[in-house]
Amino acid sequence: MMKTVIIGGVAGGASAAARLRRLDESAEIVILERGAYISFANCGLPYYIGGEITDRSALTLQTPESFHARFNVDVRIHNEATAIDTENKQVTVYDHQLGKEYVESYDNLILSPGAAPILPPLPGVDLEGVFTLRNIPDTYKIHSYVHERDVRRAVVVGGGYIGVEMAENLQNAGIQVTIVEMQDHLIASLDADTACDVHNYLAEKGLDLRLNTSVQSIERTEAGLRVQTTGGAVDCEMVLMSVGVRPESGLAKDAGIELGLRGCVKVDAHMRTSAPDVYAVGDVIEITDFITGKPGFVPLAGPANRQGRIAADNICGIPSTYKHTQGSAVLKVFDMTVACTGITERTAKAEGYHYDKVFLYAAAHAGYYPGGHNMAVKLIFDTDSGRVLGGQFVGFEGVDKRCDVLAVAIRAGMTVNELCDLELCYAPPFSAAKDPVNMAGFAAQNILTGKVRNFHWEALDTLDREKVTLLDVRRPDEYEAGHIDGFVHIPLDELRAHLDTLDRSKPVYVHCFSGLRSYVACRILSGHGFTCYNISGGYHLYDSLRRSAEIVRGHAVQRG
């Protein structure tokens, strides 16, 4: 009878155990979990703190008893693996409840210890009222502290997924929140230009954003805590440290198992480590990026579940392989949705891709149907092959749907031309006849086929304004509501009548609100002998960048 020992539960370990049992009813399966919970909803933890989830039991997906009843797995909570002997195929275990050590043998071993929150070596990180959030005990501690201490002000250090979700939920609990982020934008899986819409929305919701700001220390005061930053001091009653996670690979390292990037366990496509009959899954492993083929560290629940299944398949003789990670992710921010897949522009540039990008501000559903919202779309594509490299979406309804479509397109190796051909569901309440994904494909295709020249706001300052014409083709009411100095204003529908007022010897750089009308303007101008560049993203992107920069500058002015 085959015996598999699994170190760690949650997504990867629990999925592996369940799959093993489904494949082999006679197998002996043991899960060693040093904590009290083998399967819980990591991603739901912030929503319990914020009151969105009110039932504690909803966070626990399986208990040791329910898991044993359904899958006949020997689940041992409070049992911590302390050493692995790969030569003799044994694990040393310490039972915290009984206070004794024992040795467990295995035929196959699966490592699923996950990742631990990074706690930077700063003065004061060990003070009462300073927390990290990774598991259910962390959640209960924070929840109790917030309510027992009547917390009114909180500082979240780090603007990643957990940091932003916690900021939202603390705000929903009636707490004034300051996010301190050392980079120039929140949510590292976005580019800075796409993140600007998130910054502006959070500022409108009343959150205090401190970007380009590092924490130096945390101090105890009579009133609570004081967070000293490079941008000045912030007083509060609690601090959440959310600066990232590190793989819990110490056991593997001590056992002589090969590690890779950032101390992650190296595995092959079958989830096998360098040690015989030892597999690893989840947040502890090094992945291969689906786009670049380079090693990476992407701790996400979806990949962890698939990896657990694949390890189980291979243990049972089914030749299953993991086909890399493309980093598809989605985030709720109050009523806003943020989603991304594939690589960022930063990565495309760093990896030396010949790439371009298009920005859209597209309708989630038919404009004439009530209640619609636009979404910001950024598409990154290879200009040599037309291959889709990545996409970022920020908006409200329908954002996750469009990102999922693009994720499938990337997985299938599609080009922007093929995005144009996708036949997607349409009815006025759900989409437009030209879906935002189609529209992104059209815009990129127009660039690749030379129907329009693409231009980006960040390059505007490189232009000699004496030698170019800057043109705004929005409606008069849009222009009056806000415009950019130096741009000539000619509404699109009046453009043909005013062509003689423009200098044909100068290239024209044109914008509208989103980039669609300015594309039409470029086609008109090109048809009349002008050289024309469409400014991608239009005034919406320009204004979003401007307002986000003001948030950063406002704090820079305050700190003098």
Instruction: List the catalytic residues.
Output: 43
Annotate 11-51 with three-state secondary structure. HHHHHHHHHHHHHCCCCEEEEEECCCCCEECHHHHHHHHCC
Compute the distance between CA of residue 5 and CA of residue 19 in angstroms, rounded to an integer.
Answer: 14
In three-state form (DSSP H/G/I as H, E/B as E, the rest C), the secondary structure along 52-117 is CCCCHHHHEEECHHHHHHHHCCEEEECEEEEEEECCCCEEEEEECCCCEEEEEECCEEEECCCEEE
How many Å from the N-terminal Cα to the C-terminal Cα in the chain?
Answer: 71
By DSSP bridging, strand 153-157 and strand 245-247 are unpaired
Beta carbons within 10 angstroms of residue 195's beta carbon: 24
H-state helical runs in 412-487: 416-421, 436-448, 476-481
Q: 17 with 91: CB under 8 angstroms?
A: no
Strands 153-157 and 238-241: what pairing? Answer: parallel
285: nearest Cα among 310, 301, 264: 264
In one-letter notation, the amino acid at residue 353 is: Y
Which amino acid does the sequence have at 152? R
Contacts of 201 (CB under 8 A, 6+ apart): 333, 334, 336
As given in the structure block, the two tokens for residue 484 are 């950019």
How many residues are there in the chain? 560
Q: How far is CA 189 from CA 312, 328, 336, 340, in A?
A: 30, 9, 16, 7
The dihedral through the CA atoms of 439, 443, 444, 449 has a sign that is: positive
